[in-house]
Amino acid sequence: MPEGDTVWRTADALHRALADRPLTRSDLRVPKLATKDLTGRRVIGVVPRGKHLLTRVEGGLTLHSHLGMDGSWRLYAPGERWRGGPQHQIRAVLANADRTAVGYRLPALDLLRTTDEARVVGHLGPDLLGPDWDPEEALRRLLAEPGRAVGEAVLDQRNLAGIGNVYKSELCFALRVSPWLPVSLLPEPERLVALAKRFLEANKTRTARVTTGDPRPGRQLWVYGRDGRACRRCGALVRVAGRAVAERERVTYWCPRCQAAPPETSPIPPNG
């Protein structure tokens, strides 16, 4: 599932493959961009912003993309078979003489003036992996709605950019708090901000996320994806709540024993 670390890693790979080279192919397969052609323009750079990717090209243009739930950019050598999905899932192709970048299942793809990037990313809070990272500002934004549930607040990209459903569940578990605990009752909220930063920094160059400190397969995460299995810390069964398990962005994993909260502050979760 793409989160801030995945987007950072994707941007790094795209930047190394495309930057400072002219495009020899540009194929944007969404109706509103079907007539746009970036061929011949030099790629200036690829920048991550929270869960957004900004590919800047000559002429003051930026191709903005978002990975959503299962989108990806894949890189291929000349003549290499594209294996990221069927042709109908391809939304963008950018190539130079040495590498081809193919964007699959991208729910958002826009071409805009670089000076207008704020139109698509200006609402975001401090980026956990960006040069604008400001823990004090992130904390201020989180505490601005004291009645909001912690899990909901950390998912809001206007507070701090880069947290998705995996880190939401893992952060709440690591801090031993219920995801439904109001922000105002969060002990030492600055610890949440610091841990979020530490998690993403530690994982931005890894292909498999690790929050437990144990990189062995099947042992990397505390609770995410482990519903019905024993909590690694106390042995209680990990639970899952959400509209539907298939809607991964709305699913929360937690241990009812390790993350207990006072009954008056922690409502019964949906489908819990």
Answer for the pair 100, 76: CB distance below 8 angstroms, yes or no: yes
The catalytic position among 41, 42, 233, 250 is 250
Per-residue model confidence (pLDDT) at position 260: 78
pLDDT at 244: 43
d(CA 25, CA 77): 14
In the structure encoding, which two tokens stand for residue 55, read together? 């590919």
Asked if 2 is an active-site residue, the reply is yes
CA distance readout (Å), 64 to 19, 53, 56, 141, 215? 15, 6, 9, 25, 33
Pairing status of strand 25-28 against strand 90-95? antiparallel
- Give per-residue burial for 195-213: e unless 16+ CB within 10 Å, then b: bbbebbeebbeeeebbbbe
pLDDT for the residue 2? 85
pLDDT 10s per residue in the chain (272 long)?
689 999 999 999 999 999 999 999 999 999 999 999 999 999 999 999 999 999 999 999 999 999 998 999 999 999 999 999 999 999 999 999 999 999 999 999 999 999 999 999 999 999 999 999 999 999 999 999 999 999 999 999 999 999 999 999 999 999 999 999 999 999 999 999 999 999 999 999 998 999 999 999 999 999 999 999 999 999 999 999 975 444 445 789 999 999 976 444 444 454 44
Residue 51: active-site member: yes
pTM of this prediction? 0.90
| Contacts (Cβ under 8 Å, ≥6 apart) of 129 | 4, 5, 8, 48, 162, 200, 201, 204
Of the residues 51, 56, 91, 197, only one is catalytic, namely 51
Q: How far is CA 138 from CA 76, 92, 169, in A?
A: 37, 33, 19
What Cα–Cα distance (Å) separates residue 69 from each residue in 62, 95, 104, 224, 247?
22, 25, 11, 16, 9
Candidate list 2, 179, 189, 269, residue with the active-site label: 2
Copy the structure tokens of residue 124.
Answer: 């975001």
- Residue 117 among the catalytic residues: no
Angle between helices 189-203 and 135-143 (to 10 degrees): 130
Cβ(246)–Cβ(164) below 8 Å: no
Q: What's residue 149's pLDDT?
A: 96
* Distance linking the first and last C-alpha atoms of the chain: 22
Which structural domains are found in the chain, ordered by start?
4-121 (3.20.190.10), 135-254 (1.10.8.50)
Return the pLDDT at 247.
42
